[in-house]
Amino acid sequence: MTPARGAPPSFKVLQEAAEWFAVLRAPAVPADERMRWRQWHDADPAHQLAWSQVEAISGKFQNVPGGDNPMAHRLLDAAAAKRAQRRRAMKMLTLLCGTALGVWAGAQTAPWRVWTAEHATGLGERRQIRLADGASVWLNTDSAIDVDYGGDLRRIKLIAGEILIDTAPDFQSPTRPFVVDTAEARLRALGTRYSVFQEDGASVVAVFDGAVSVEPLQAGARPVLLHAGQQSRVTRTGADAAVPADEARRSWSNGLIVAENMRLGDFIAELSRYRRGYLACAPEVADLRIVGAYAVADTDRVLVALAATLPVRVRASLPWWVVVVPK
C-alpha cells in the first residue's frame, strides 16, 4: 500500500530504506531479518514513503536483465530512443483524435506533454536546433519544447527541462516578438542570449547578452526587466531580486558544469540530472564549496574526482543508489 504523501523523507531515512532494500535483495534472507525490516517499515509513515521511493527507482533497473551492470544502462538508453519514436506517434495521435484526446491530455501534466513535444531530449542528451528565423536553441538533458512561429509572434513553449537561446532578428515586417512561455511567466527577448530552467513551481531565467522582459502570469503581477549578467527565479506571482547569472546555466551547452564556489549539495543536484538512478549529498557535507569545470558525459569520473579532492566518499547502497557522504 502506498503511504499518504506528507513531508519528503530525510536523507537519513532514504538511506536506511536503500540499505534495507539491498539486504532484502539477497537470494536468501533470514526470517528474523525480514521481521526487523517490517518493524522498521511500520514504525513511521516516513519510512513507508522512503521505501516506496526506493522501490520506484529500483524497479526501473530490476525490470532490466542485468540491471546491476552498464549493459542495463545501454538497454535503458535504447528504451529512451523507442520512447522518442512513441512521442512522434503520440503527437500524430493527438492531431488525429482532436478534442476528446485534448481534454484528456489537459488533465495530465508533464508526461503526456513531454511525449507529444515537438523537440525533446532524453536523460544525459543535449541537442541544438536551428529555428526558421536563424535563432538557435539548445536543449539540455531531459527537456522538451514546442515551437510556434505565427504571423504575429515567435513562440517557444518550455514544457520541461532547460533551454539556452540565441535569438536572431526577425526577417518579417513588422517584426514579431520572440517569447518563451513557461508554467509561470512569459519571457520576452530583447536581442538576447539567455537560458530558462523549468523547476517545480518556478522558472530560473539567466541573461547573458541583451535583456529579457519577465511577465509573470498572475493578473496584476509586475513585469521585471533582466539585463545581461543577471538571473532571477520567477513564479506566477513575481520575480525574485536579480542575482549574478550563474555560469552553470549556460556551460551545460558545452557538456560542462562550471562550478564557481558552488555548494556541493547544489553541484550534486545538478549532476544528478545527467545520471540514471538516485544521486544525493549528505547534509553534513552539502555546504562544502567546489570550483572547477566538470564534464557531464562521465558522472562516475566526476564522483571519483570529488572523492579525491574533498573530505567525502562516494557510497553505493545499490548500483543505482549513490550518495556522497563524509569521509
pLDDT at 114: 77
What is residue 93's predicted lDDT score, i.e. its pLDDT? 47
Whether the per-residue pLDDT at 323 is higher than 60: the answer is yes
Confidence of residue 191 (pLDDT cuts 50, 70, 90): confident
**Measured between alpha carbons, how far is 312 from 327 in angstroms, rounded to an integer?**
4
Give the per-residue pLDDT at 139: 98
Could you say which architecture CATH assigns to the domain 255-326?
Answer: 3-Layer(bab) Sandwich (3.55)
Conformation bin of residue 142: beta by default, left when phi > 0, alpha when psi is -120 to 50: left
- Starting at the edge strand found earlier in the chain, the sheet holding 321-326 runs 278-281, 321-326, 312-318
User: What pLDDT score was predicted for residue 205?
Assistant: 98
What are the residue ranges spanned by the domains of the chain?
11-62, 70-114, 129-248, 255-326
pLDDT, position 72: 44
- The share of the chain scoring above pLDDT 90, in percent, equals 76
In percent, the amount of the chain with pLDDT more than 70 equals 83
pLDDT at residue 301 tops 70: yes
For residues 162 and 119, the answer to whether their CB atoms sit within 8 Å is: no
Mean pLDDT of 160-174: 95
Residue 112's pLDDT is what? 64
Q: Could you report the per-residue pLDDT of 11-22, keeping only the tens digit for each? A: 999 999 999 999
Contacts of 76 (CB under 8 A, 6+ apart): 60, 61, 64, 276
Fold of 129-248: Jelly Rolls (2.60.120)
Average pLDDT over residues 303-326: 96
Least confident of 65-69, 278-282, 289-293: 65-69
pLDDT in tens, 79-132: 445 544 544 555 554 444 444 444 434 333 446 677 788 999 999 999 999 999
Positive or negative torsion for Cα 61, 64, 66, 69: negative
pLDDT digits (tens, 9 = 90+) for 224-265: 999 999 999 999 999 999 999 999 999 999 999 999 999 999
pLDDT, tens digit (0-9, with 9 covering 90-100), for 31-86: 999 999 999 999 999 999 999 999 999 988 865 444 445 444 444 454 445 544 54
Q: How many Cα atoms occupy the beta-carbon half-sphere of 134 within 13 Å?
A: 5
Burial 185-201 (b: 16+ CB within 10 A, else e): bbbbbbebbbbbbbeee
